[in-house]
Structure 1
Amino acid sequence: MDIPALLTSAGMNIGISVGMFSLYSILRKQPLNVRVYFGQRIAQGRTRNENLCFERFVPSASWILKAWEATEEDIFACGGIDAVVFLRIVVFSIRIFAIATILCTFLVLPLNYFGQGIEGVEDSTAMDLLTIGNVREGSRWLWAHCFTLYVISGCACTLLYYEYENVARMRIEQVHRFPARPSNFTVVVRGIPWSSVESYSESVGKFFSNYYAHSYISHQIIYRFGAVEQIMEDAEKMYKVMTTVPVIATAPVDQCCETSVDHRCGLCGARSNSFKRVGAGSESTRRNVDDELREKECEAALVFFRSRYDALVVSQTIQSADPMLWVTELAPEPLDVFWQNLCVPYNLLWIRKISVFIASIVFSVLFLLPTTFVQGLTKIQYLQNAFPILRRVSDRSYINLITGYLPSLVLTVFLTVVPPLMMLFSTLEGRVSRSTRKRSACVKVLIFMFWNVYFSNILSGSWIERMGKLTVTSPKDLATLLAELIPRQASFFMTYVMTSGWSGLSFELLQPVPLLGNWLFKCVLMKEEDFIRPVTFSFHTEVTRVLLFGLLGFTFCILAPLILPFLLVYFCFAFLVYRNQIMNVYFVKYQTDGSYWTLAHNATIFSLILTQVVAGILFGMKKSSSASTCTIPLIICTALFNVFCKNRFLPLFKNRAAQVQPKEEDKQSEKPKKSSSSESLEELEIVKPENLSGDQPSPSPSPSASSHQLEPEEKIVSIN
C-alpha cells in the first residue's frame, strides 16, 4: 500500500468520524432518543428534560466536557468496578503509547527515513522508507532502536505493576463495600451423586448437616422447568388449589395473599411478592407433587451458610474423594446466575469444552478465507500476473479506495460475527454465571483477534506477495519470517486502526441499530411502549479491540513508528467515548470484580515479549549482533516480571482472602429447622424464574443485599 491509498483511507475515516460525532451531538438532545442515549440514567431513575430551543439542533461538544470532568467515583457508581478497570486499561494505553510516540517520532522515525537501506530494492514503496527495513546492515543507528525498546518495556512494566496493584486493592475493597451480598454467603454445589433411596434435596441436606453442622443454614435445589411446561404446571396447580381447598367464608379475601408485596395478583385486590403459596391438599396430592418435583430435580443446589468465612472455606474445599462429585464454588449474584447451565451435568462439561475448542479451531481456519481475500485487495498489483483482468482495475482512478479503505472495511464487517459466536461457544461450555460467560467469550475473541487479525494478515499478505512461495519448516523460520514481514504490513494496520478504531468509536457513540429501531417503533408502528431496554456493556468486544491495538502499537513501535499517532488518537477518543457511554447508555447487571485486568496484563506481556523477540531477530538480520544480544536480558526480565506479578497478585483474582472476611457483622440468622418434602404444601415456596434470572434491571450497578434474609423454609428454584 502506498501513501495515496493511506491518505484516501484517512480522509474517508476522518470524514465519517466527524460526521457521526456531529450527528450524535444533535440526536442526543432530541426527546425521542432519550431511551437510546440515556438508558442507564433512566434505569437509575434520573430523568432529563429538554426544552424546545435552537440549541437542540446545533452540534456541540458538551458531552466531551462532561465525560472529561467525570471522576472515578462517578464511573464506579454508574458502571461498577469492571467499568473502572476497563477505563484503566485505556488510560494505561494512553500513557505508554504517549511515551512511545514521543520517543519513536523524534528518535526512531528520522533514523528509519535516512537509513538508505532499501535504495534500488524492487517492490519497495514510500511507506517502506519509514520502517526499520530502510536501516542499513551493520548500522550503529540500531542502538537507538534497542535503547527505545528498553525504555518502552521498562515504562510498560512499571505501569503494569502500578495498575495491577490498584485493581487488586479495589477487589479487596469490594468485600467491605458490599458486606451483605447474597453471593458471599452462598455456595453452588454441582455433581450431587444420584441415589435411588433419597432425592437430591435430601442428599444435600444430609451431606451439609453432617459435615458443616455449625455453619449450614439451608439450601435450594435447582429444578428443570421449561417455559411452556412452567405455565401448564402453574395452571394445573391453581386448578388443584381451587378445587381441593375449602373456602372459609369468614376469612377476608386479602388474607389469601402475603403482605410483603411487589405486584398485584389476579385473584384479589391485594399485592403479592415473587413467591406463591400452594394451599394444603390431600395426602395423595402432596405425594404426587413430591414425585413430580423429584423427577425434575437437577444435580445442583444453592447452599446457604451463616457467615462469609464459612462459605469461603466450603467453596475452596474438596468435598469428596471423587473430584467430580460435590463440586463447590462461590455462587454468583442473583442477577448474574445463568440458570439454564446449572442443570447441565457436571461430568459432561469436559466434553462440551473439548467440542467448543474444536469448533473454535475450525472457525479460525475457515476465517482464513476472508483474511486472504482482504489481503488480496491490498496486493492487487501482485495478482495481475495470475489474474490479467485485474490490470484494468489497477489503472482506474479509484484504485486507492480499493487498496486503502475497502480492505479494512471488509475485514471489520467480517469480524462482527465473531463476538456473538464466541458468546455462544462460552454458553455451551456450561458457565453458571453471566459474568464468567462474558469473560470466557472475551478470552476467545482475544485469541481469535490476535491470530486472525494480526498473524493471519501478515502471513497471508506475504504469501500473496511471493505468490505461494512462502514456506515455514520450523519455529525459527516462523520467527525470522515475522521479523521480516511485520514492517511491510504497517500500512494495512494503519488503515485498520482508522476504520475499526476511529469509525468504530463513532458508530459506538451513535448507536445506529437501537436508534433506527426506536424510530421505526415509535414513528412508523406508533407504539407507546418502549423499544429500547438497558443493555450491558460489551466487554468481550471492546476489551479485545483495545488489547489488539495495544499489540499493534508494541510490535510496530520501533519497526514502523508511523502507526503510533493513529493509535494515540484512537485511545484518547476511546477514553472520552467509553466514559460517556458508561455514564449514560449501558446498564450494569453483574460484575466480574475487575477480572478483565488479568487478560489485559497477559496480553500486554505477550505483546512485549513478541516485540522483543522480533526486534532481536531483526537486529541479527541487520548484522548488529551486539544489539541483538542485548534483547535477551530484556526478554528474560520481562518474563520474570510476569512471574512475579502472577505470584503477587493473581491469587487475589482467583480466590478470596480469608483475612479480609469480617467476623463481627458476618452472621446470618439462626439455623432454622430443616424442612422436608413431606411437610404440608402450605410451607412449600416456588421461586419464579423471572425474579431470579436477572431479566429485570436493577438500578444499582453492584446490588447490595443489606436487607437480605434467608427464609427458613426450603426454596425451589425453577429454571425457565
Structure 2
Amino acid sequence: MDISALLTSAGINIAICVVLLSLYSVLRKQPSNLCVYFTRKYVAEPVMRSDPFCLERFVPSASWIMRAWQATDEEVLSVGGLDAVVFMRVVVFSIRVFIIAAMICIFLVLPINYYGQEMQHKQIHAESFEVFTIGNVKEASKWLWAHCLALYVISCSACVLLYFEYKSITKMRLAHITGSPPNASHFTVLVRGIPWSPDHSYSDSVEKFFSTYYPASYVSHQMVYRTGTVERLMKDAEMMYRKLKTAEPQRAGSSMPCCICGGSTHSFKILKNEAESVKSKTSVDVLQPNHREKECPAAFVFFRTRYAAVVAAQVLQSPNPMLWVTELAPEPHDVYWSNLSIPYKQVWLRKITILLGAIVFMVLFIAPVTVVQGLTQLDQLSHTFPFLKGILKKKYVNQVVTGYLPSVVLMLFMYAVPPTMMLFSTMEGNISRSERKRSACIKVLNFTIWNVFFGNVLSGSIIRQLNVFSSVRDIPVQLAKAVPTQATFFTTYVLTSGWASLACELIQLFPLLCNVFRKFILRTREEPSSWALTFPYHTEIPRLLLFGLIGFTCSVLAPLILPFLLAYFFLAFLVYRNQILHVYITKYQSGGQFWPIVHNTTIFSMVLTQIIALGVFGIKKSPVASGFTIPLIFLTLLFNEYCRKRFSPVFRRSPAQVLIEMDRQDEQCGRIEEIYSQLKAAYNSPLPTDSHSQDPSTSGSRRSNQDQESSRDPESLKPGSLRCGKVMPTTEQSGRICEKCQSSIVLPRASPREI
C-alpha cells in the first residue's frame, strides 16, 4: 500500500471524527438528551432544563474538551472509583511511553529506514509504505545499531514507567481498603460445596461446622436459596406494591374524567402497612416448598473481625478440597446471585467447557480475518476473482479497498466478540459481576491479540506461502518477515477501530436512538436508572492493550504508525474521562484488579517486540544487534518477576497488618455492634423469603430477614429504597381506575425540579 492510500484512510476517519465530535457538542446541549450525555446526574436527581431557545445551543463548541482536560484524578476517583482511575492511568502510561518512542524513532530510526537502500525516491505521497519500514534497510548495514538503541530506550522507559505506575496503583489499592467505611464484604466469607446430610439442613450444617471450628470469631450465616417461578412472581408483586405505596396519594373523593369514556375515576387503594399486602390470610408461602428444599449448598458466613474472615477464606477447611470451599465474599451489590446456586463440583467442568468453546470461537474467527487480509493484497484478489480486475484498476477504488475497507470489515466482525465473551464468563460460574467482567476482559484480550495481531500476521503469510513455519526456531524469523509487511494494515486499523470508535463512544449512538424512540415515539417518561450503563472495561481495556501491542511491535520496525497511535491515545484520554465523569454509573468495582492484566500484557508486548527484533536483526545479518537484544529479553523477564513478587500479592490478598489495624480502630470507635447489625441485611437474598439463619448478635437464636435493619449503603438511600423498614418518598406515577368503564389510566408524575 502506498502513502496515498494511507492518507485516504486517514482523511475518511478524520472527517468522520470531526462530524461526530461536532454533532456531540450540539446534542449534549439539548435538554431532551440530558439522560444520554449526563446520565449520572440525571439518575441522581431527575431534572428538566428550561433553557430558552438560543442559537448557541446549535453551534458546535469544544467546552467539553477543556472540562475533561482540567478534571483531576481525585474527581475521577470520587465518581468512577479506583477502577476508573486505573483505566485512565493505562491511557496516561501509553501516552508517555509512545511519546518517548515517537521522539527517538521518528527522528533517528525513520530516516535510516527511508534511506536504507540506494534507490531513486518518489514524492512522499507516491512512496510505498514499506519504504519507511526496517525492510528497506539493506543487509549487514552498520546503521542497525540505531534500531537496537531505540529498542533499548523504549524497553527501559516502559519498565521504569511500569514500575512507578504499579507502585502508585498498589498504594491506591491499600488506601481504598483502609479508607473505605466498614463494608460487609470485609467480614463475610462465601462458603460453597457444603456437604449434604439426610439428617440436617444446609443451614444446620453450616451453623454446626463454624460454631465448632470457629467458636470465637463466628457470628452468623445467611443461606443462599434457589430461584423459582413463585419466588420471581412474589418479587415482581413486591416491586409493584412498593411503587403503588410510594405513589403520591390522591385526596379522598377526588376524581377526574376518564380519557376513554369520560367517566369519573377513583384512586387505587393504597394499603396502610406492609402486613396487609404481604402477610395476608391466604399467604403465598403455602405454595412454596419448604426452606430446606430451596436451600443451595452455599452460604454467606459472617465473622467478628476482618482478620478472622481472611483467615477462614484462605485456609483449607476439610481434607476434601471440593467440600467447604471458602473465599472472601464480594460486595453486596456486586454479587451475581444467579450463579451462587451452581454446585461447586460443576464449576471446574464449566470452566473447561467454556475454555474449549472460546478456543473454537477464536479458530472459527480466522476465516473473516483471512478474508480481510485478502482485501489488502489486490494481486491475489484479482487472480482469485478475475471479474474484479477492471474495478480494482481505478485509483480511488484501489486506495479505498486497500487503505480503508479491510479495517472496517474486521471492526464490524469484532463487535460480536465482547457480548459472546461476556456470555461465556456468565456461564463460567463467576459469583460477582466484577469478576465476570474481569474474566470477559481476559477472554476478549486473548481473542483480539490472537485474531487481530497474530491472525492478520499469519494469514498474510499464508496467502503468500502455504508453509509458514518449518520448525519452532523459525517463528522469530517468520514474524520478523511478516510484521513489517502488515504494518500498513495495523496503521489503518488504528485509524478505523481507534479514532472512529472513540467518536462513536462519545456520541452514544444506541442510547441516543433509544432516547429518541422513547420520548418522541412511545412518549413515555421512564426513569433512566433502569438502563444506565456501567463502564465497559471488558471492551475498552483490551482495545487499549491491543493498540499498545501494535505500537510496541511496530515502533522500531515501522515508526510511521506512532503519530497516528499517539493521536488515538490523546483523544482517548479526553473521551474516556468525559464519559466517566458524566455518562457511566459506578454500581460495583474490583478495587483495581484490572491493573495486573495491564502489566502482564505490557510485558508480553515488550518481550514479543524484542523477539521479533531479534529475528529481524538475524535476517539483516547483524550479529552485534542480535547479541545485544538477547540480554534485553532476560532483563525484561527479570523485571516482571520482581514486580510479580513485590506488588502482585497485594492484588490477590489483603495484608493482615492493615486488617488488624482496621479492626482495632473499629473497637476504639465502638462501631462493632453497628457493623454486626448490618451484616445479614447486606446479603439478603433478592427473593422475598423468610429464611432461617442465625441472628448476628446472639448465637443459636433465629429471626426473619424482615426484622433485620436495612443496609446503610449509599445506594439504598435513593428514592423509593428501603431504610430501617421505611419507604422514602419518590415521584412515581399515580394510578387511577375509571368508575364507569373500569379501565386503568396513569396520571403524570410530579414535574421534576427545573434548573
TM-score (norm. length: structure 2)? 0.83
Cα distance in 1 for residues equivalent to 2:207 and 2:290: 19
Structure 2, unmatched stretches of 5+, are 239-267, 677-695, 726-755
Could you tell me which residue of structure 2 aligns to residue 413 of structure 1?
412
Residue 56 of structure 1 corresponds to which residue in structure 2?
57
Match of 1:7 in 2: 7
Q: Give distance in 2, aligned partners of 1:417 and 1:507.
A: 16
Task: Measure the CA separation in 2 of the matches of 1:524 and 1:48.
Answer: 19
Aligned 8 A contact 2:372 2:407 in 1: yes
2:479 matched to 1:477? no
Deviations 1:528-579 (A, max 9, x none): 2245732100000000000000000000000000000000000001001000
Q: Do the aligned residues in 2 keep the contact of 1:222 with 1:342 (CA within 8 Å)? A: yes
The corresponding residue for 1:672 is 697
CA contact (8 A) 1:117 1:135 kept: no
CA 1:333–1:144 in 2, change beyond 3 Å: closer, same or farther? same
Letter of the 1:43 partner, please give it: V
**CA deviation digits over 1:347-378, x for unaligned, max 9?**
11111001001101110111011101111111
Asked whether 1:181 is paired with 2:178, we answer no
Give 1:549's aligned residue: 547
**Residues 79-107 of structure 1, C-alpha deviations (whole Å, 9 max, x = no match):** 00000000000000000000101110000
Deviation at 1:71, TM superposition (A): 0.7
One-letter amino acid of the structure 1 residue matched with residue 642 of structure 2:
F
Distance 1:434 1:647 in 2: 28
Note if contact 1:118-1:134 (Cα within 8 Å) is conserved in structure 2. Answer: no
Partner residue in 1 for 2:493 = 496
Given that residues 277 and 685 in structure 1 are in contact (C-alpha distance below 8 angstroms), is that contact kept between their aligned partners in structure 2? no
Aligned to 1:487: 484
Q: 1:269 deviation in Å?
A: 2.4
Q: 2:747: which partner in 1?
A: none
Residue 384 of structure 1 aligns to a residue in which SS? helix
Give the Cα separation in 2 of the matches to 1:315 and 1:697.
27
Cα-to-partner distance string for 1:421-459 (whole Å, 9 max, x where unaligned): 000111111000000000000000000000000000111
Identity among equivalent pairs (%): 52
Which residue in 1 is equivalent to 2:636? 638
Relative to structure 1, the CA distance from residue 645 to residue 269 in structure 2 (aligned partners, 3 Å threshold; closer, same or farther) is same
Q: Any idea what SS the aligned residue of 1:558 has?
A: helix
Map of 1:268 onto structure 2: 271
Match of 1:586 among 566, 569, 584: 584
* SS of residue in 1 equivalent to 2:290: helix
The residue number in structure 1 matching 2:353 is 355
Indicate conservation of the 8 Å contact 1:521/1:531, yes or no.
no
What CA distance in whole angstroms lies between the structure 1 residues aligned with 2:442 and 2:120?
A: 44
Superposition deviation, residue 665 in structure 1: 3.1
Show the counterpart of 1:223.
225
**In the TM superposition, what is the alpha-carbon distance from 1:461 to its structure 2 partner?**
1.7
Partner residue, 1:514: 511
Query: In 1, distance between residues paired with 2:716 and 2:624?
Result: 61
Q: Give the corresponding residue for 1:205.
A: 207
Aligned residues: 657
Within 5 A, what are the aligned runs for 1:327-476? 327-396=325-394, 397-464=396-463, 466=464, 468-476=465-473
Tell me how far 1:478 sits from its aligned partner: 2.1
Output the CA distance in 1 between the equivalents of 2:155 and 2:572. Answer: 23
The question of whether the paired residues in 2 share the 8 Å contact of 1:40 and 1:586 is answered with yes
- Aligned pair partner of 1:603 in 595, 601, 604: 601
Question: Is the counterpart of residue 194 in structure 1 residue 214 in structure 2?
Answer: no
Per-residue CA deviation, residues 7-50 of structure 1 (Å, 9 max, x unaligned), is 11111100000000000000000011000000112233485846
Q: Distance in 1 between matches of 2:279 and 2:644?
A: 53
Tell me whether 1:95 sits opposite 2:115 in the alignment.
no
Determine if contact 1:308/1:666 at 8 Å carries over to the other structure.
no
Query: RMSD across aligned C-alpha pairs, in angstroms?
Result: 2.9
CA contact (8 A) 1:221 1:298 kept: yes
Distance, in Å, in 2 between the alignment partners of 1:387 and 1:347 is 53
Equivalent-residue separation in structure 2 for 1:65 and 1:400 (angstroms): 36
Counterpart residue identity of residue 6, structure 1: L
Q: CA 1:233–1:586 in structure 2 vs 1: closer, same or farther (change >3 Å)?
A: closer
Alpha-carbon distance between aligned partners in 2 of 1:589 and 1:380, rounded to the nearest angstrom = 49
The equivalent of 2:162 in structure 1 is 160
Q: Does 1:74 align with 2:75?
A: yes
Aligned to 2:252: none
1:139 to 126, 141, 165: 141
Q: Distance in 1 between matches of 2:119 and 2:196?
A: 73
- Residues 462/393 of structure 1: CA separation in 2 closer, same or farther (3 Å cut): farther
| CA pair 461-593 structure 1, distance change in 2 beyond 3 A | same
Deviations 1:182-229 (A, max 9, x none): 111111111100100100000001111111111111110000023554
Q: Which amino acid aligns with 2:216?
A: H
| CA distance in structure 1 between the aligned counterparts of 2:479 and 2:101, rounded to whole angstroms | 22
The whole-number CA distance in structure 1 between the counterparts of 2:486 and 2:706 is 60
Q: Which residue of the partner structure matches residue 39 of structure 1?
A: 39
For the Cα contact (< 8 Å) 1:222–1:300, is it kept in 2? yes
Farther off after superposition, 377-386 or 336-345: 377-386
SS at match of 2:220: strand
Change (3 A) 1:281 1:485: closer
Given that residues 2 and 126 in structure 1 are in contact (C-alpha distance below 8 angstroms), is that contact kept between their aligned partners in structure 2?
yes
Q: Distance in 1 between matches of 2:638 and 2:592?
A: 24
Q: CA deviation at 1:477?
A: 1.7
Report how far residue 2 of structure 1 moved: 2.0
Q: 1:686, CA displacement in angstroms? A: 6.2
CA distance in 1, matches of 2:161, 2:300: 41
Alignment-derived partner of residue 22 in structure 1: 22
Q: CA deviation at 1:480?
A: 1.0
Residues 336 and 197 of structure 1: CA distance in aligned 2, closer, same or farther (over 3 Å): same
Match of 2:737 in 1: none
Determine if contact 1:423/1:438 at 8 Å carries over to the other structure.
yes
Counterpart AA for 2:30: Q
The amino acid of 2:698's aligned partner reads K
Cα distance per residue 1:46-81 (max 9 Å; x no partner): 858462222111100000000011111100111000
C-alpha contact (below 8 Å) 1:534/1:697 kept by paired residues: no
- Report the alpha carbon displacement of residue 385 of structure 1 after superposing the two structures with TM: 2.5
Name 1:241's counterpart in structure 2.
Answer: none
The separation in 1 between residues aligned to 2:521 and 2:89, in whole angstroms, is 42
- With over 3 angstroms needed to count, the CA separation of the structure-2 counterparts of 1:514 and 1:114, relative to structure 1, is same
SS of the equivalent of 1:557 reads: helix
Deviations 1:262-317 (A, max 9, x none): xxx98732479xx99869999xx99x799611111100001111111111111111
In the alignment, which residue of structure 1 is the partner of 2:649? 651
Q: 1:543 to 1:48 in 2, by over 3 A?
A: farther
Corresponding letter in the other structure for 2:489: F
Match of 1:128 among 127, 130, 141: 130
Partners of 2:43 and 2:528 within 8 A in 1: no
Q: Which moved more, 1:21-30 or 1:532-541?
A: 532-541
CA deviations 1:303-336 (Å, max 9, x no partner) are 1111111111111111111111111111111110
Distance 2:235 2:108 in 1: 74
Q: Cα distance 1:3–1:594, how it changes in 2: closer, same or farther (>3 A)? A: same
Letter in 1 for 2:415: T
SS at match of 2:666: coil
Q: Look up the equivalent residue of 2:705 and give its one-letter code.
A: E
Match 1:685 to one of 705, 715, 719: 705
Kept after mapping to 1: 8 A contact 2:185/2:329: yes
Distance 2:142 2:519 in 1: 68
